[in-house]
Amino acid sequence: MKLPEELQFIENARKPLKTTTVRLDGKVCIITGATSGVGREAAKRIARAGAHLVLVNRNEEKAAALKAELAALSNAKVDLVHADFSNLDDVQRAASHILHHFPSIHILINNAGVHMTTRRLTVDGFETAFAVNHLASFLFTHLLLERMIASAPARIIQVNSEGHRFGGLKLDDLTWEKRRYKGLQGYGASKVAQLLTVWELADRLKDSGVTINAVHPGEVATNIGMNNGFLYRWYQTYLLAHILKDPKISGEALYYFAAAPELSAISGKFFNLTIEEKPAAHALDRATGKRIWDISEELTGLHHKMMGNTVSTAVENPGFTAAS
Ligand SMILES: NC(=O)c1ccc[n+]([C@@H]2O[C@H](COP(=O)([O-])OP(=O)(O)OC[C@H]3O[C@@H](n4cnc5c(N)ncnc54)[C@H](OP(=O)(O)O)[C@@H]3O)[C@@H](O)[C@H]2O)c1
């Protein structure tokens, strides 16, 4: 029996993972949130494929341990950048540092993410999941965009989630002042906002040689949510962890998105692991997408006109070189 379209994700999760063995020698690959779970497995897999890794993390100790682990696994070059993505100034500093030190960027994996069970505001006054999962990756991507266009072919991979199906995005209440905060919906809202901006950016990047896609990395056992209270942590450790898969599959999937030749021209799509899938209807509403794009530009301090010009100038003029 075939499941209805909105339940296809259950079937897709059981389909075999598509894989590749294409090497990434000479490619610069940025991964945010590589110190744990999905990002850590992606870093390990992509290091083995020979890419030069630039890992953006908030915990310097964990980052140094990861770098040592990667050195034992491969000869890949690994650079570390320190940044807390709940703080947009830190995102800006990380991007400036990268632009200063790396003349080319071929792969950007926006992976850092959180699931909050309570409403917490960031130093900038945003709801934390919305800030880390959406605003930070939105800003970071835009700050690196010119460099990626100049480095094309290049790929942007947004680590999104089937959790976008929980919905929760209300444009007039992004900080949850008017509603009671619900963790799954707060998480859903951040992932819907990110997905909606993926379709927008894919359109803007048409013919630029830079692709952008969103990926659900599987239901895997990681540390996500472990920042929450005792009850949630108990639920995660003793119940959830037993039904979740090994995050190695997420690492393999993200490597596939970074390297697979058959994806070189695929952009503006959502994948459940490596299977293309139709997202929930509320995440396909382009009118809301245009509004959340504008709101995100405003909240992150990016100027709409400038960003529009950046992309179109680079596309019209293939000889365009990014300023450092
Ligand atoms: N696990 C799943 O089943 C699942 C399903 C769907 C989607 N995802 C998505 O996969 C991505 C990775 O999550 P995960 O499951 O691997 O969780 P995780 O094990 O908790 O890893 C999250 C990573 O993000 C980093 N991070 C969190 N907040 C940050 C901040 N403010 N600034 C900078 N880095 C920050 C964490 O750093 P620390 O190590 O310092 O905590 C860690 O490296 C997220 O976007 C998540 O939404 C996961």
Q: Give, in degrees to the nearest 5, the angle at Cα 42 between 146 and 194.
A: 50
Is-catalytic flag, 181? no
pLDDT per position as a tens digit, 55-105: 999 999 999 999 999 999 999 999 999 999 999 999 999 999 999 999 999
CA–centroid distance, residue 191 to ligand 1 (Å): 13
CA–centroid distance, residue 229 to ligand 1 (Å): 17
Alpha carbon distance 250, 63 (integer Å): 19
Alpha carbon distance 9, 74 (integer Å): 35
Q: How far is CA 92 from CA 88, 159, 320, in A?
A: 6, 20, 23
Among the atoms of ligand 1, which is closest to the Cα of residue 224? 20
Is the pLDDT at 119 greater than 90? The verdict is yes
| Rg, C-alpha atoms of the chain | 18
Q: Is residue 146 part of a domain?
A: yes
pLDDT per position as a tens digit, 216-266: 999 999 999 888 888 888 878 888 888 899 999 999 999 999 999 999 999
Per the structure, the count of domains in the chain is 1
Q: Is residue 324 part of a domain?
A: no
Is the pLDDT at 324 greater than 80? The verdict is no
| The pLDDT value given to residue 43 | 98
Looking only at the bridges linking them, the beta strands covering 270-272 and 275-276 are antiparallel
CA dihedral 163, 167, 168, 171 (to 10 degrees): 120
pLDDT per position as a tens digit, 177-208: 999 999 999 999 999 999 999 999 999 999 99
| The pLDDT value given to residue 312 | 42
| The pLDDT value given to residue 232 | 83
| The pLDDT value given to residue 128 | 98
Among the atoms of ligand 1, which is closest to the Cα of residue 110? 45
**Please, where are the H alpha helices in 102-205?**
128-129, 136-150, 183-204
Q: Is residue 320 part of a domain?
A: no
Candidate from 55, 62, 157, 223 with most ligand 1 atoms within 8 A of CB, to mutate: 223
Is the pLDDT at 146 greater than 90? The verdict is yes
Candidate from 123, 162, 224 with most ligand 1 atoms within 8 A of CB, to mutate: 224
Q: Is residue 322 part of a domain?
A: no
| The pLDDT value given to residue 237 | 83
Count other C-beta atoms under 10 Å from residue 208's C-beta.
22
Q: Is the peptide bond before 153 cis (omega within 30 degrees of 0)?
A: yes
Task: Single out the catalytic residue among 181, 187, 232, 238.
Answer: 187
CA–centroid distance, residue 36 to ligand 1 (Å): 7
Q: Is residue 13 part of a domain?
A: yes
Among the atoms of ligand 1, which is closest to the Cα of residue 244? 3
Residues in contact with ligand 1 by the CB-under-6-Å rule are 33-39, 57-59, 62, 84-86, 111-114, 132-133, 159, 161, 163, 216-217, 219-220, 222-224
Candidate from 12, 38, 216, 250 with most ligand 1 atoms within 8 A of CB, to mutate: 38
Residue nearest to atom 46 of ligand 1 (CA): 113
Domain coverage including residue 245: 5-313
Q: Is residue 319 part of a domain?
A: no
Q: Is residue 300 part of a domain?
A: yes
Q: Which two tokens mark 246?
A: 């090994």
Q: Which two tokens mark 52?
A: 């030069």
Q: Give, in degrees to the nearest 5, the angle at Cα 267 between 261 and 146.
A: 95
Count how many residues are written for the chain: 324
Among the atoms of ligand 1, which is closest to the Cα of residue 112? 24
Among the atoms of ligand 1, which is closest to the Cα of residue 219? 3
Q: Are 31 and 250 within 8 A, CB to CB?
A: no
CA–centroid distance, residue 114 to ligand 1 (Å): 5
pLDDT grade for 212, boundaries at 50, 70 and 90: very high
| CATH code at position 248 | 3.40.50.720
First CA to last CA across the chain, in angstroms? 56
Q: Is residue 284 part of a domain?
A: yes
Least confident residue range of 134-138, 241-245, 249-253, 271-275: 241-245
- pTM for this model (two decimals): 0.94
Alpha carbon distance 265, 136 (integer Å): 26
- Burial label for 304, CB within 10 Å (0-12, 13-18, 19+), is exposed
pLDDT per position as a tens digit, 279-312: 999 999 999 999 999 999 999 999 754 544 444 4
